[in-house]
Amino acid sequence: MKRFIIIIIVILIPGVVFAAKPCERATVVKVSDGDTVKVVCNGDKLTIRLIGIDTPETHRPNTPVQCYGREASQYLKQRLEGKRIRLKYDVERMDKYGRTLAYVYRGGTFINAEMIKKGYAFAYRRYYHKYKDKFIGYEEKAKRKGRGLWGACKIKCNGSICHTSSYTSEVSRSPKGK
């Protein structure tokens, strides 16, 4: 009986290892918002949450659409929808909502970083990721230059998390650095 179980394990383990191989190239079929996209990879549909960034809310229940959320979503849609992308991973592969966590590249552009540099996203400080310090530096530069949400919205930060006001709130000045 022990031999039978060992043989079954030896046969099944390679299948599990190959099935768990992460997606490296995918096609974006939908941009959900400024930090989440839906992709097809090898026939499988995945929801990808861009690691290390946080964009203003556009779809959270009981939360008004936040300042610059639509712009962030629209920018990501223009850059990625219908396009082939490369995905790279960090230590954590899934978030608590079952989304795949990934760094997204299109051509030679690191999309996660670009979203912060252009002021469409905040650097996400809550969890470790290998680009955390770089992303914070990109955010500080975007803030100094008044790019995107930094020039268009009232922003409140509570510890490591920042949010923009809702669109019903007054905006501080027109956006820069688009």
Catalytically active residues are 49, 57, 99
Residue 5 CA to residue 12 CA, distance in Å, equals 11
11 C-beta neighbours (distance < 10 Å), count: 9
CA distance 55 to 88: 20
Nearest alpha-carbon partner for 84 in 107, 57, 100, 62: 107
Alpha-carbon distance of 35 to 72, in angstroms, equals 8
